[in-house]
Structures are given as structure tokens and as C-alpha cells.
Amino acid sequence: MFKFLKRLRRDKPIETPEVIQEVLVAEPVVEVIPEPIAQETRVEAPKPEVQKVEKPKPVEKPAVAVQEVELPKRSLGDGVRSLFSSAIELDDLEDILIRADFGVDAALEISDELKRAANKAGASSDAELRLLLKDLLTKKLTRSDAALNLSDGKLPYVILVVGVNGAGKTTTIGKLSRWLRDGDWNVVLGAADTFRAAAVEQLATWASRADAKLVGPEKEGQDPASVAYQTVELALSTDADIAIIDTAGRLQNKKDLMDELGKIRRAVEKQASIAEVLLVIDSTMGQNALAQAKAFAEVADVTGIVMTKLDGTAKGGILYSLQEQLDLPVKLVGVGEGINDFAFFSPEEFAKGLVAYKQER
């Protein structure tokens, strides 16, 4: 799994960077308490990579002492449902992929490629075809930039979470916070959705569930950029590892609201660099997700995508086109409303889920 650098915590913050190397070698990786994974996982969860880093990666003069950590294991689990309720028919594959929101072009492309691969390999049995498709999808979905950028040591990491209304931004933040807290990170949340009714309270509930600090507006309707600024300020003054800023949902065709994101960015950048801008996309969305990603990428410099609600019947095939067309990595997935229903996006796990033998519920 991905390794991250977080602030080294002792009784007192350590200022001298020299200690880092020593600490990294001396201290074992923070103990990983595996989350109980749902018993009936659709696919076999991939084994966590055990290989331990012998030598620490050279750290670029971080401002603060850091240590290398993993995050507790989370799995897509039951998240992805199989595409197939019966044996694969190559001629039906295109339709099946369309039904999974891959889009007309991608569906054609993938099914053609599978046909070619099957021809080449002389594969024809159901099992062979499934394996080929799994490998094909895994290959096409795998990217080198899928890890959360929590390893450059520029603490606190600031994550901005954006997306259309109801996509799952606030929930994602709650889950991510809990996860980081479980890995012993210090988390500050910023309630920069000062628009929607009770949005601040909603984030506050998640903050308390996740045991994170919260910065909210001092008065109703306060400028979200100023909340973002104060969030970073608190993160800095309390030596937090990470600040996650929730923003109001906005439809990508509303220019004023989109411009507001630029303002929020600038407010953050007055004090810290932005580690990630996560665009939250609801898996039940169809082709409009592409328009969403395009617009948000333009104004907010999106660095990664979170696909939520993969626990439903939606297959989230649009993530394929999101990666291909917009060159944005899918980094995280949401698979439920619970605080632990969350995982790194694993192309292999996703592909396995899609080709699994299980019947759709």
C-alpha cells in the first residue's frame, strides 16, 4: 500500500530535520490495525504489500520532522458489483459496458480490445475471457499517480474537496478524517460550505465522529475563502498534519460559483501549498461526470477524483473515461455511508469486482 509522511509526534515537536533519518530507521511503521473487512467480500481482497522499506526515501528538507506511515487497510469490499449475470458473450460486452456507464466510445474500444486479445490468446472459455477482461481493465486503469499526495513532507497537507451538489463531499471528508486519525494524524477540518443549510453542522458531526478539529464560519454566510484561510491558520498553529476543506456543492456551469473556488484556493495558498484538490464524483452520475471533471479541473486544478456511492447498483464505469479523457487519477472510492466505507482506488480490485462470478443482488 501507499506510504505517507506525517509529522513525527513526541511530547514536543522536533524542529531539527537531522533527526528524521534516524527516526525513520529506528521507528517501525506505525502499527496498522486492520479494519474488520466485510466478511462476504465479492472478490478476494488483495493482500496488503508486506515488503518493508529498508532504506527510507530521501526526504526533501522537510520543514518539520516526519515519519513514514501507512494508512489502515480499507477495501473496496462489496463495493463493486459484477457486470455479468451469466457467461461473457463477446458480442454483448459493448452493451454491458454501456450499461455500466463506460460511455459509447470506451465501451466499443474495450470490447474491441478484448476481442483482439482473446483472438491472440486463443481464449474462448468464460473463465479465460473474464481473466483477460480483468487484466485489460486493470492495465488500462492503473496509473502511477493514484496515491494521495501526502508524502512531500510539506506539512500541513491541505486538501480541498470540491464537487457538484450531493456528490458526497462532506461524507468523504468524514471518512477520510477518521482514516487519518486511525493512522494517528492530526486533522483539522474547514467548513467552507457556508451556503447550504446545516452544512456546517453536518461537517461538525463528522468532525466529532472522526475526532478532528473543526473551523467553522463565525457568522452565517461568511465568505468561504476566509473560512479556508482560518482553517489553514489553525492547522499551522496547532501543528496539525492535515487540513481538509469542505466546499459547497456547485454545478459546473455556474460561473460565479466556480470562480469562488479560485478564491478559496488563493486564500489557502497565502499560508500553505495545496497538496490535493479532490473532485468528488457520484458513481450514479452518467456522462455528465466528464463535463463536471472538465470544468472543475479548469478552475480548481483538480489533482484526483473520489468516486462515491459505488455500493449501489451503479458500476461507475465513467471513471474509466475520466482517467482516459481528462488524465485525472481516481484516488479514492466511497462504498457506503458508514465512516469506514472507504478505500484507495485499486484498479485490480475494481476490475476483479466487475468480472466476478457473483450474481447481482
Partner 1 sequence: MFGNLSDRLSDTFKNLRGKGRLSAADIDGTLRDIRRALLEADVSLEVVKEFTGKIRERALGDEVSKALNPAQQVVQIVNDELKAILGGEARKLSFSKNPPTVIMLAGLQGSGKTTLAGKLAKWLKEQNHTPLLVAADLQRPNAVTQLQVLGEKVGVPVFAPEAGNGVGNPVKVSKDAIAFAKKSQYSVVIVDTAGRLGVDEEMMQQARDIRNAVEPDEILFVVDSMLGQDAVNVAKAFHEGVGVSGVVLTKLDGDSRGGAALSVATITGAPILFSSTGEGLDAFEPFYPDRMASRILDMGDIVSLIEKAQQSFDEEESKRLAEKMAKDQFTLQDFLEQMQQIKKMGSMKGILGMLPGVGQMKKQLEEFDEKEITRTEAIIYSMTPLERTQPKVLNGARRMRIARGSGTSVTEVNQLIARFEQAAKMMKTVAKGGMPNIPGANPALMGGGGFSGGKKKIDQKKKGSKSGNPAKRAAENAGLDFGSEKSSGSGSAFGL
Binding site for ligand GTP (CB under 6 A): 163, 165-171, 193, 196, 199, 249, 280, 308-309, 311-312, 334-337, 341
Phi, psi of 102 (to 5 degrees): -70, -20
Q: Which of 239, 286, 298, 357 binds partner 1 (CB under 8 A)?
A: 286
Does position 2 bind partner 1 by CB under 8 A?
no
Amino acid at 175: K
Least Å distance, CB 358 to partner 1, is 13
Does position 202 bind partner 1 by CB under 8 A?
yes
Neighbouring residues of 81: CB distance < 8 A, sequence distance ≥ 6: 42, 313, 315, 353, 354, 358, 360, 361
User: How is residue 330 written as a grid cell?
Assistant: 481516481
User: How is residue 248 written as a grid cell?
Assistant: 459547497
> CB under 5 to 8 A by kind: which of ligand GTP, Mg ion, partner 1, none does 100 bind?
partner 1
CB-based burial of residue 105 (10 Å sphere; 0-12 exposed, 13-18 middle, 19+ buried)? exposed
Nearer to partner 1, 201 or 239 (CB): 201
Least Å distance, CB 283 to partner 1, is 8
User: How is residue 128 written as a grid cell?
Assistant: 479465460
Side-chain-facing half-sphere of 34: CA atoms under 13 Å: 8
Query: Any idea how long the chain is?
Result: 361
Query: Beta partners for 330?
Result: 305
Give the C-alpha distances (Å, rounded to integers) separating 84 from 156, 196, 243, 265: 44, 40, 41, 43
> CB under 5 to 8 A by kind: which of Mg ion, ligand GTP, partner 1, none does 318 bind?
partner 1
Q: Return d(Cα 96, Cα 161) in angstroms, integer.
A: 32
User: How is residue 305 written as a grid cell?
Assistant: 477524483
Q: Which of 22, 49, 95, 259 binds partner 1 (CB under 8 A)?
A: 95
Does position 104 bind partner 1 by CB under 8 A?
yes
Does position 273 bind partner 1 by CB under 8 A?
no
Nearer to Mg ion, 108 or 204 (CB): 204
Q: Which of 288, 298, 301, 327 binds partner 1 (CB under 8 A)?
A: 288
Does position 62 bind partner 1 by CB under 8 A?
no
> CB under 5 to 8 A by kind: which of ligand GTP, partner 1, Mg ion, none does 163 bind?
ligand GTP
Does position 314 bind partner 1 by CB under 8 A?
yes
Q: Return d(Cα 160, Cα 274) in angstroms, integer.
A: 8
Is residue 189 within 8 A of residue 247, CB to CB? The reply is no
Nearer to ligand GTP, 117 or 257 (CB): 257
| Sign of the alpha-carbon torsion through 209, 214, 217, 218 | positive
Q: Which of 151, 170, 177, 186 binds Mg ion (CB under 5 A)?
A: 170
Nearer to ligand GTP, 44 or 337 (CB): 337
Nearer to Mg ion, 13 or 166 (CB): 166
Nearer to partner 1, 6 or 175 (CB): 175
Q: Return d(Cα 306, Cα 322) in angstroms, integer.
A: 11
Is residue 30 within 8 A of residue 36, CB to CB? The reply is no
Least Å distance, CB 209 to Mg ion, is 15
**Window 206 to 225, contacts with partner 1 (CB under 8 A):** 206
> CB under 5 to 8 A by kind: which of partner 1, Mg ion, ligand GTP, none does 195 bind?
partner 1
Does position 252 bind partner 1 by CB under 8 A?
yes
Does position 251 bind partner 1 by CB under 8 A?
yes
Q: The cell 466511497 sits on which residue?
A: 334
Task: Please work out the total of residues on this chain that contact partner 1, with binding judged by CB under 8 A.
Answer: 49
Helix (H) or strand (E) holding 22: helix 19-26
Neighbouring residues of 196: CB distance < 8 A, sequence distance ≥ 6: 165, 248, 249
Least Å distance, CB 284 to ligand GTP, is 9
User: How is residue 119 written as a grid cell?
Assistant: 483472438
Does position 29 bind partner 1 by CB under 8 A?
no
